[in-house]
Structure 1
Amino acid sequence: MTTSSPLYPSAVPPRDLVDPLVDPRLYEGVLSRRVLAFCVDFAIVCTLTLIAIPIVGVLGVLTLGLGWMLYPFLFQAIAILYSGATLGGDRASTWGMRLTGLTCRIGYGAKPGFVIAAAHVVLLYMSITFLTPFVLIVGLLTRRKQLLHDLVLGTLFVDKGTLEGRV
């Protein structure tokens, strides 16, 4: 049984992204805008974590201390949920990426789902924790300005205006 519903990604025909050698405008300024977008997203996740701290504290009182076991994983959980909801959503970009005009695509042109977005943020934080300068150097050496975790997941970050034909 075939269906054309967007709920079934395999039924949606893949659309190839423009090759960077043919249209390099898709990747112009992407690295610097990604750094700015990361800073904005990091500030948002930190703010959401600060908001969640007293909520978890009350939860810990109500559960006789069991809720306090969430504290060591609070930042990570919020970062995964934030990235999964925004990067894995319809716009395929976090709030920082929207501010800088970027969008995410999988190698064949589809938008990433929640699982790829969550994996992306986990690999992002792991790679910048252990390989900070190397992660950015990889971005300077690839044609599509992909960072190390982008290469692992097959994700691309492109200029949204150019992709939609507005520029």
Structure 2
Amino acid sequence: MAQKSIDQREHAYIPQQHPALFDGVLSRRVLAFLFDAIMIVGVMVALSIVIAVLGVVTFGLGFFLYAILFPLAALGYAAATLGGYKAATPGMRLMGLEMRLWYGAKPYALLAVMHSLLFWFAGTLLTPFIILVGLFTRRSQLLHDLVLGTVVVDREALWELENKQSY
């Protein structure tokens, strides 16, 4: 059987066939975001202590790292967690969510970083719009999900679907 090209692939997650994948995803994403924001602040506090020590050791040169503290913490957090093998940030795991690409693959670190960057840039420019888009898409995708071809699904429903298909 010949391998299908990307243009010929079907979307792996069709809401009409598997509605459980998208039940309550938007509200849980909001809660996951709040949890992850608190975690990122914690990472920033830890990094600020390291930067303070570096600033003293380097006679003030290390203090310039404070300018990149938030991007360093937030993008590193996203790359390590969302781009990791669990395909979810700690907040997403707590809420029972997982991210996948439109064709079913797990995201990789660079895509996780791009997802975060696009979220922050779009959130800065189009704050209510990125959330409102999720109310009108069949897969509860936000604006940056649509652009990057990602989808956030219920982890338990995904596990059941994947185990059903393997038999």
Mapped pair 1:80 → 2:65: no
Contact 2:13 2:102 in 1 (8 A): no
**Aligned counterpart, 1:66:** 61
Tell me how far apart the structure 2 counterparts of residues 106 and 60 of structure 1 sit (CA, whole Å).
41
Q: 1:18 & 1:145 partners in 2: Cα distance?
A: 12
Give yes or no for contact 1:138–1:148 (8 Å, CA) kept in 2: yes
| Counterpart for residue 103 of structure 1 | 98
CA contact (8 A) 1:15 1:109 kept: no
CA–CA distance in structure 2, aligned partners of residues 125 and 92 of structure 1: 19
Shift of 1:17: 2.1
Matches for 1:100-139 after TM superposition, within 5 Å = 100-139=95-134
- Specify the alignment match of 2:50 in structure 1: 55
> Using the alignment, how far apart are the partners of 1:76 and 1:15 within structure 2?
35
TM-score by length of 2: 0.87
Unaligned ranges ≥5, structure 1: 1-13
> Does the 8 A contact of 1:17 with 1:108 survive in 2?
yes
List per-residue Cα deviations over 1:111-147 (Å, max 9, x = no partner): 0000000111111111222211111110001111100
Amino acid at match of 1:149: H
Residues 1:164 and 2:163 are matched in the alignment: no
For the 8 Å contact 1:20–1:144, the answer to whether it is kept is yes
Q: How many residues align?
A: 153
Aligned ranges for residues 39-54 of structure 1 at < 5 Å? 39-54=34-49
Deviation at 1:16, TM superposition (A): 5.4
Paired letter, 2:114? A
Query: 1:9 is matched with which residue?
Result: none
Give the whole-Å Cα distance in 1 for the aligned partners of 2:124 and 2:42. 20
2:156 is the counterpart of 1:148: no
Q: Secondary structure at the match of 1:164?
A: helix
Between the aligned residues of both structures, percent identity stands at 48
Aligned residues of 1:104 and 1:111 also touching (Cα < 8 A): yes
Q: For the residues of structure 2 that align with 1:41 and 1:15, how far apart are their CA atoms?
A: 32
> Which structure: greater helix fraction?
2
Could you tell me how far 1:21 is from its partner in structure 2? 1.6
Q: Which runs of 5+ in 2 are unaligned?
A: 1-8, 162-167
Q: Which residue of 1 is the match for residue 23 of structure 2?
A: 28
Q: Contact between 1:15 and 1:110, CA under 8 Å: does it hold in 2? A: no
TM-score, normalised with respect to structure 1: 0.87
